[in-house]
Structure 1
Amino acid sequence: MMTADQLRAKAKRLVVGSSSILCLLLGAAISLQPELTALALAAMAALVFFFMFPRRALILFLLASFFIPSYTKIDATAIFIIFSAGVSFLLHKKSPVLRDKSILLPLLVIALIVTASTLAGLTFEKNKIENIYRDGRPFFYWLILIPLAAWTPKDNSVRWLADRMMQIGLVVCVLAVIQGLAGKRLVDTGLVADLDTMSTHSMSTVRVQIPGFMFAMFAITYVTSMMLGRVRYVRPWRLGFKVINLRVPLIAVWAALALGIIFNFGRALWFWTAVSLLIAAAQYGYRGFGRFLAWVAVPAVLGLAALAVVKPDMLETIGTRITSVADEGGVGSSFGWRELEMQEGRKALESTALLGVGMGGQYRRFNMMLANFPDHTIYTHNGWLYLTLKLSIFGFLAYLWLGWRVVRSIATAPKRNDTERAIGISCVAFSLAFLGINFTQPEIMSHYGLLTFVFICAMAFFFRKQARDGLAGDMVDDPESRAFQDTIPSQLALA
Structure 2
Amino acid sequence: MIAFRRPDGRSLLLNSVAVVVSVLFGLMAVVLPWWFVVALLILPIGLLVSALFPEMGLVLVVVLVSGLLPEAMTPSISAGPGKLQAHEIVMVLLTVIGAFRVRERGLLSVRWLQPVYAILLCAFIGSVVGLVYSGAQMRDLLQEVRIQGYWLLAPMSVVLIQDAKALKRFIVGILIVSFLISVAVLLQFFFNIKILSTARVENLNTLTESYSDVTRSTAGGAIYWIIFSVFIATVGAAFRSISRWIVVPLVLVMAGAIVVSFGRGIWISMLMGAILLGWMTFRGKGVFTVSVLTVVLSVSTVGALATVKPRIIEVAIDRVISTTKEGDPNSSLGWRLNEANYAWVSLSRSPVIGIGFGVAYKPLERLNGTDADFGLMRYIHNSFLGVWLKMGLLGLLAVLWIGAQTLYMGWDLSHRAVHPGCKRLAATVVASFTVPLITSMTQPEWLAPAGVTYFALMIGILAVASRLDKLAASGVMSDLRAKNVSRSGIHPVSAR
Distance 1:439 1:191 in 2: 20
Structure 2 match to 1:84: 92
Q: State the partner residue of 2:384.
A: 384
Q: Are the structure 2 counterparts of residues 290 and 159 from structure 1 closer, same or farther at C-alpha, using a change threshold of 3 Å?
A: farther
* 1:55 alignment counterpart: 55
CA contact (8 A) 1:382 1:442 kept: yes
Give how far 1:117 is off.
Answer: 1.4
Q: Taking structure 1 as reference, are residues 279 and 104 closer, same or farther at Cα in structure 2, changes over 3 Å only?
A: closer
1:208 and 1:40 mapped to 2: Cα distance? Answer: 29
Partners of 1:103 and 1:297 in 2: CA distance: 36
Offset of residue 317 of structure 1:
0.6
Q: AA paired with 2:393?
A: I
AA at the equivalent of 2:457: F
Distance in 1 separating the partners of 2:205 and 2:158: 42
Q: After superposition, what is the alpha-carbon deviation per residue over 1:170-227, rounded to whole angstroms, capped at 9, x for unaligned?
A: 2222211111111111122221111111163211111122330111122222223223
Which one-letter code corresponds to 1:429 in the other structure? A
* Inter-partner Cα distance in structure 2 for 1:126 and 1:157: 45
Structure 1 position 114 matched with structure 2 position 123:
yes
Per the alignment, residue 282 of structure 1 pairs with 279
- The Cα RMSD (Å) is 3.2
| Greater alpha carbon shift after TM alignment, 381-390 vs 305-314 | 305-314
Shift in alpha-carbon separation, 1:61–1:79, aligned structure 2, 3 A: closer
In 2, Cα distance between the equivalents of 1:102 and 1:360? 31
Q: Counterpart amino acid of 2:271?
A: A
Residue 183 and residue 372 in structure 1: after superposition, are their counterparts in 2 closer, same or farther (change >3 A)?
farther
* 1:468-483 mapped onto 2 (5 Å cutoff): 468-469=470-471, 471=473, 474=476
1:183 maps to a residue whose letter is: N
**How many residues get paired?**
426
- Cα 1:447–1:336 shift into 2, 3 Å: same
Contact 2:59 2:174 survives alignment (8 Å)? no
1:226 to 236, 243, 264: 236
Match of 1:165 in 2: 174
* 1:406 equivalenced with 2:413 (yes/no): no
Contact 2:178 2:225 in 1 (8 A): yes
Please give the residue correspondences for 1:151-300 in structure 2 after superposition, counting only pairs within 5 Å. Answer: 151-198=160-207, 200-211=209-220, 212-233=222-243, 248-283=245-280, 284-300=282-298
Q: Secondary structure at the match of 1:324?
A: helix
Contact 1:102 / 1:405 at 8 angstroms: preserved in 2?
no
Report the Cα distance in structure 1 between the residues aligned to 2:243 and 2:294, rounded to whole angstroms: 16
How big is the shift at 1:466? 4.5
Against the structure 1 CA distance between its residues 412 and 193, is the aligned structure 2 distance closer, same or farther, given a 3 Å change threshold?
same
SS of the residue corresponding to residue 349 of structure 1 reads: helix
- Which has the larger Rg? 2
CA shift for structure 1 position 374: 3.2
Q: Aligned-pair distance for 1:442?
A: 1.1
CA distance in 1, matches of 2:167, 2:407: 15
Structure 2 alignment gaps of length 5 or more: 1-38, 78-82, 478-496
In structure 2, distance between residues paired with 1:95 and 1:325: 52
User: CA separation of 1:166/1:447 partners in 2, compared to 1, >3 Å: closer, same or farther?
Assistant: same
- Matches of 2:139 and 2:240 in 1, distance apart? 50
Q: Deviations over 1:372-416 (max 9, x none)?
A: 443221111111111111111101111222333333333223334
In structure 1, the residue corresponding to 2:426 is in which secondary structure? helix
Cα deviation per residue 1:318-356 (whole Å; 9 max; x = unaligned)? Answer: 000001111122222211111111111111111112322
> What amino acid maps onto 1:463 in structure 2?
A
Query: CA 1:124–1:83 in structure 2 vs 1: closer, same or farther (change >3 Å)?
Result: farther
* More moved, 75-84 vs 265-274: 75-84
| C-alpha distance in 1 between matches for 2:45 and 2:161 | 26
**Structure 1 residue aligned with 2:484:** none
Distance in 2, Cα, partners of 1:118 & 1:428 = 31
Q: Which residue is 1:34 aligned to?
A: none
Moved more, 291-300 or 165-174: 291-300
Q: What SS does the aligned partner of 2:210 have?
A: strand
Question: TM-score, with normalisation over the residues of structure 1?
Answer: 0.77
1:86-105 equivalences in 2 (<5 Å): 86-94=94-102, 98-105=107-114
Q: Percent identity?
A: 20
CA distance in 2, matches of 1:386, 1:169: 28
What is the Cα deviation at residue 305 of structure 1? 2.8
Gaps of at least 5 residues in structure 1 are 1-38, 235-247, 476-495
Aligned-partner Cα distance in 1 for 2:260–2:352 = 38
Which residue of structure 1 lines up, in the alignment, with residue 450 of structure 2?
448
